[in-house]
Amino acid sequence: MKIPSFAPIPAGLPATVPFTGPETLQRRRGRDFAARLGANENGFGPSPMAVAAMADEAALAWQYGDSSSHTLRYALADHLDVAPENLVIGEGVDGLLGLLVRLMIAPGDAVVTSDGAYPTFNYHVAGFGGLLHKVPYRDDAEDPQALVRRAHQVGARLVYLANPDNPMGSWHPGHVIQAMLDDLPPNCLLLLDEAYVEFAPEDAVPQITADDPRVIRMRTFSKAYGLAGLRIGYAIGHPDLIAGFERIRNHFGVNRIAQAAALAALQDQGWLADVIADVAAARDRIGIIARANGMTPLPSATNFVALDTGRDGDFARSIVAGLEDEGVFIRMPGVAPLDRCIRISCAPAAELDVLAEALPRVLARL
């Protein structure tokens, strides 16, 4: 006896996930990684204030979280100098991406992104029947002008750009992003993924008002604030666009422990400053390790560094596999020519020591 048939769109999709998680890889290996440097997590950890807030809230885990994330939303509004109506809280950027695609994209609608950019966005577009159109990176960075041109060619409803970028760590000055808005086709929305914005130089942050109807900006507590395991992020946009999320979002999807931790983390800006400094030091150390092994570290405004191996994708994949055998978890871009690189997440010194010892052994075997 068979199950009832799936709906047409998911029935035509492969059973896949955008990323294979480190836990899955560890189960395959039969042991844990000695250095977890692949998922761009914040190994320096969350604020002690956030940890204490989680502990205090744990006893109330029998209660649903505030469906409107009221206290956190108002604190964020004050921190960002926007109105609460400009903000929606969601289950990380990944959850918000899915909601936005559901809100804006009907089956057959055109969506433009970069070939090799964040694959979870593509996953959501496919899941709701949108048609993806891709443009190549230029000089290891997303190409704003090419994205806009392609949007005009296909009549795109949505354009995705991450600034700073994952997987390359590159970034554009804010004025470049602002110029994109003036060139977008009618009835098209720019989705600006700013997951790494806390690590970026000040001039990389565009001066865009929260009420601008042409753009929605997504940020997270997963990276600089160190709360990836809690799945909490937010979007900034025009009040009418933000209100649209109320039609489709999971209203109790953001749990109360996550809300409490994010609020406490937001209030501990001193810890955030320390993490940003630790990440900068780790970027420098990764660069030293790269150059010592004949690789070139690319400039990065994130909590990871892409290392140019000087070879091709097959060679980079061999490094990834070899480091996995050595107990070091890393990732790499998936599309040529970006896939000549490997990507190393910033981490405390002890884990980078493991990388520094393992990488020469892997390269010697290759």
pTM of the predicted protein model: 0.96
- The span from the CA of 257 to the CA of 50, in Å, is 10
Q: How many domains does the chain have?
A: 2
Across 71-79, average pLDDT: 98
Residues 262, 277 within the same domain: no
- Give per-residue pLDDT as tens, 85-109: 999 999 999 999 999 999 999 999 9
Beta strands per DSSP E along 21-124: 35-36, 87-90, 110-114
- Give per-residue pLDDT as tens, 164-176: 999 999 999 999 9
Does residue 10 lie in a domain region? no
Reply yes or no on whether the pLDDT at 69 is more than 90. yes
- The span from the CA of 345 to the CA of 348, in Å, is 10
**Cα distances (angstroms) measured from residue 229 to each of 44, 88, 117:** 14, 19, 22
The token duo for 21 is 């998680």
Residues of the chain with pLDDT > 70: what percent? 100
Give the per-residue pLDDT at 17.
Answer: 82
The token duo for 278 is 């630790």
Reply yes or no on whether the pLDDT at 129 is more than 90. yes
Reply yes or no on whether the pLDDT at 250 is more than 90. yes
DSSP 268-325: -HHHHHHHHHHHHHHHHHHHHHHHHTT-EEPP-SSSEEEEE-SS-HHHHHHHHHHHHH
Residues 110, 230 within the same domain: yes
Beta strands 304-308 and 296-297, pairing class: antiparallel
Asked which of 248, 267, 286 is the last residue of a domain, the reply is 267
Residues 55, 168 within the same domain: yes
Reply yes or no on whether the pLDDT at 18 is more than 90. no
Does residue 3 lie in a domain region? no
- Kindly report the CATH number assigned to the domain that includes residue 317: 3.90.1150.10
- Kindly report the CATH number assigned to the domain that includes residue 54: 3.40.640.10
Give the per-residue pLDDT at 174.
Answer: 97
Residues 77, 167 within the same domain: yes
Does residue 97 lie in a domain region? yes
Cβ distance 45 to 351 under 8 Å? no
Higher pLDDT residue, 56 or 16? 56
Across 53-77, average pLDDT: 97
What mean pLDDT is reported for the chain? 97
Bridge partners of 233, per DSSP, are: 90, 220
Q: Which residues of 38-71 are buried (b: 16+ CB within 10 A; e: fewer)?
A: bbbbbbbebbebbeebbeebeeeeeeebbeebee
Give the per-residue pLDDT at 19.
Answer: 86
Residues 258, 295 within the same domain: no
Reply yes or no on whether the pLDDT at 63 is more than 90. yes
Does residue 316 lie in a domain region? yes
Does residue 5 lie in a domain region? no
Query: Is residue 195 very low, low, confident or very high in pLDDT (cuts 50, 70, 90)?
Result: very high
SS3 46: coil
Give the per-residue pLDDT at 77.
Answer: 98
Bridge partners of 272, per DSSP, are: none
Residues 65, 201 within the same domain: yes
Asked which of 267, 302, 328 is the last residue of a domain, the reply is 267
SS3 342: strand
Across 177-196, average pLDDT: 97
- Give per-residue pLDDT as tens, 272-302: 999 999 999 999 999 999 999 999 999 999 9
Residues 68, 195 within the same domain: yes
Give the per-residue pLDDT at 170.
Answer: 98
Does residue 278 lie in a domain region? yes
Does residue 152 lie in a domain region? yes
Give the per-residue pLDDT at 72.
Answer: 98
Bridge partners of 247, per DSSP, are: none
Bridge partners of 35, per DSSP, are: 328
Containing domain of residue 148, as a range?
48-267
Query: Residue 201 corresponds to which amino acid?
Result: P
Residues 66, 156 within the same domain: yes
Nearest to 226 by CA among 80, 70, 345: 345
Across 334-339, average pLDDT: 97
Does residue 135 lie in a domain region? yes
Residues 307, 345 within the same domain: yes
Asked which of 236, 267, 298 is the last residue of a domain, the reply is 267
Residues 236, 320 within the same domain: no
Residues 143, 207 within the same domain: yes
Q: Which residues of 306-339 are buried (b: 16+ CB within 10 A; e: fewer)?
A: bbbbeeebeebebbbebbbebbbbbbbbebeebb
How many Cβ atoms are within 10 Å of 2's Cβ, its own excluded? 4
- For 308, phi then psi, to 5°, come to -75, 115
Residues 231, 87 within the same domain: yes
